[in-house]
Structure 1
Amino acid sequence: MDFSQLLVALILGILEGLTEFLPISSTGHLIIVGDLLGYNDDASKVFKIVIQLGAILAVCWDYRERLTKVACGLASDRSAQRFVGMLLIGFLPAAVLGVMFHSKIKALLFNPLTVATALVIGGLVILYLEKRSYHPRINAVDEMRWPDALKVGFAQALAMIPGTSRSGATIMGGLVFGLSRKAAAEFSFFLAIPTMFAATAYDLYKNRALLDMGDLPVFAVGFVAAFFAAMWAVKTFIRFISNHTFIAFAWYRIVFGLIVLATWQLDLVAWSDS
């Protein structure tokens, strides 16, 4: 195992942690940067799954008090049962559609050019939504009802297209359906727990033949980097959206996506198409 591989793992792990819960698409960034770094072989598929697990465990750690309270009260506490019910309802659309279309989408759309296009389109959608009048009726996750969770769940399913952003789809969907910025962001974080654990387990099972103990040091570096980067990103993001809109993220998506498309059009970078 050479130093360059560990450095790539560190870079991609930090990138995953920083982008997983922001509306800018962590999967899209990993595809683009992984392609630039030449890390897009079979081993990289499992690596990207492992570092996503590191990021979601960071959210579990950040919200450990809430999650522990829910787990302890699940048998008798009505509010805990309702909270879990909201997550399961929100998780359902992505679970069903993921099983149906996951393999086809990965085969056809997981490439830098698709990601770049989705980044630009998603940025334009965010700009449009931010220009609309905004009157939230739900200021906390506990105020949500099952139709609210289901609608956000369908929004989350849009993120099956790489570059769309799972957090972006759920947060912006939450705003459209009446959630406050903080409530939409927190529900996105909580909804990521069952969604990403299920996706990780499914992907690991599907790619189990690619698992190799020789890759363990690389996976460990990426996992740890993603965990700590995600811990910082989640706390910073919650503070940011308390006083700001999502317009900065929209422009970032648009500029980043256009740069990738321009380098492809001008033959400056030989982006892969699969």
Structure 2
Amino acid sequence: MNYIQAIILAIIEGITEFLPVSSTGHMIIASSFFGIAHEDFTKLFTIVIQLGAILSVVVLYFKRFFQTLDFYFKLLIAFIPAVVLGLLFSKKIDTLLESPVTVAVSLLIGGIILLKVDDWFNNSSETEITYPKAFKIGLFQCIAMVPGVSRSGASIVGGMSQKLARTSAAEFSFFLAVPTMLGATLKKCYDYYKDGFILTHDQINILIIGNIVAFIVALLAIKTFIGFLSKNGFKVFGYYRIIAGIALLLIHFFIHPLTII
């Protein structure tokens, strides 16, 4: 991976991490086009630059992170399902991460669902998140372990299914991203450390630059997304996912197979 590729991937991460379009799926496809997806450092990079993205949440919602302990307990309860399922099915998840076709199909199916979400939950207007709601949102988030599903999309839809208003569901999804993505990053770094993976000086610099870029882009993406979502809903993201999913399937099967292994 060179610096230009790292910056492009970091921009993709920053834009897509908090949008319901799947950041992991987009980075899998982008790195596949670059021909670097099979590299161990690329796989590490796509996980570690999430730190830059989650830092943007902390900065934007700084005061919200100094609330009562109740706020953190709800985040913990919502985070538990991802921890349990992540540990139980980590190998299967890693296998799915190597499949561009899985990403394309997930984008397509998720897009169809997003076209209907606003109609299904058009009466969602509550703002209070109870403990049962937090746990159910955490269960929805686990669906995003399938590449292409979108962690933010799954958790936002999960919140709306519990009658939360779109903006309230989106903000809780952002907050939940902090422990979820931090946990995933630390686990992946530990796994690579345990396997004896050693970073070069250039790779360390690439990680630093990637995190900075992801942080800046994510700041802008979150601000734009909240305003857009409150006014327009999910349909545009649904159409985007459908177009992207179909395009990737056509490319894979009729033009050039996208391989990651």
Matches of 2:93 and 2:172, distance apart in 1:
26
User: Residue 143 of structure 2 aligns to which amino acid in structure 1?
Assistant: L
Tell whether 2:235 aligns with 1:247: yes
Structure-1 residue corresponding to 2:250: 262
Residues in 1 aligned to 2:198 and 2:29: alpha-carbon distance in whole angstroms:
23
Question: Aligned runs of 1:21-170 on 2, under 5 Å?
Answer: 21-40=18-37, 41-67=39-65, 69-70=66-67, 80-132=68-120, 134-139=122-127, 143-170=128-155
2:89 aligned partner, one-letter code: F
- Tell me the CA shift for residue 173 of structure 1: 1.3
Counterpart residue number, 2:156: 171
Seen in structure 2, the aligned counterparts of structure 1 residues 227 and 127 have a Cα distance that, compared at 3 Å, is: same
**Change beyond 3 A, Cα 1:178–1:213:** same
Q: For residue 227 of structure 1, report the CA deviation from its aligned partner.
A: 0.6
How many positions carry a matched residue from both structures?
A: 257
2:10 matches 1:16? no
Displacement of 1:83 after TM fit?
0.8
The gaps in structure 1 that reach 5 residues or longer are: 71-79
| 2:220 paired with 1:232 | yes
Kept in 2, the 8 Å contact 1:10–1:225? The answer is yes
Name the structure 1 match of 2:184. 199
Preserved CA contact (<8 Å) 2:105 2:245: yes
CA contact (8 A) 1:25 1:166 kept: yes
Shift of 1:19: 0.3
Cα shift at 1:270: 2.6
Separation (CA, whole Å) in 2 of partners of 1:108 and 1:254 = 20
**Which of 3, 7, 10 pairs up with 1:6?**
3
For residues 211 and 60 of structure 1, the distance between their equivalents in structure 2, rounded to whole angstroms, comes to 29
1:185 aligns with 2:170: yes
| 1:131 CA drift (Å) | 2.7
With structure 1 as the length reference, what TM-score do the two structures score? 0.90
Contact 1:93–1:153 (CA<8 Å) still a contact in 2?
A: yes
- The answer to whether residue 200 in structure 2 is matched with residue 213 in structure 1 is yes
Shift of 1:198: 0.6
The residue identity in structure 2 corresponding to 1:9 is: A
Q: Residues of 1 paired with 2:36 and 2:215: CA distance?
A: 20
Q: SS in structure 2 opposite 1:105?
A: helix
Q: Give the distance between the partners of 1:117 and 1:14, measured in 2 at CA.
A: 23
Q: Answer yes or no: is the 8 Å Cα contact 2:156–2:170 preserved in 1.
A: yes
What per-residue deviation string (whole Å, max 9, x for no partner) do you get for residues 46-97 of structure 1?
A: 1112211111111111111221x23xxxxxxxxx111111101110111100
- Whichever residue aligns with residue 150 of structure 2, its letter is S
Q: Is the CA contact 1:136–1:179 (under 8 Å) kept in the aligned structure 2? A: yes
Match of 2:259, as an amino acid? S
CA distance in 2, matches of 1:85, 1:163: 29
Alpha-carbon separation, structure 2, partners of 1:155 and 1:162: 14
Distance 1:211 1:23, change over 3 A: farther
**What letter is aligned with 1:84?**
Y
CA shift, 1:218, in A, is 1.5
Q: How big is each residue's C-alpha offset from its partner over 1:110-163, in whole Å with a ceiling of 9 and x where there is no partner?
A: 321110110001111111222325212522xxx111110011000000000010
User: Distance between the aligned counterparts of 1:228 and 1:9, measured in 2?
Assistant: 14
Structure 1 residue 109, shift from structure 2 partner: 4.3
C-alpha contact (below 8 Å) 1:22/1:168 kept by paired residues: yes
2:259 maps to 272
TM-score normalized by the length of structure 2? 0.95
- Alpha-carbon distance, 1:43 to partner: 0.9
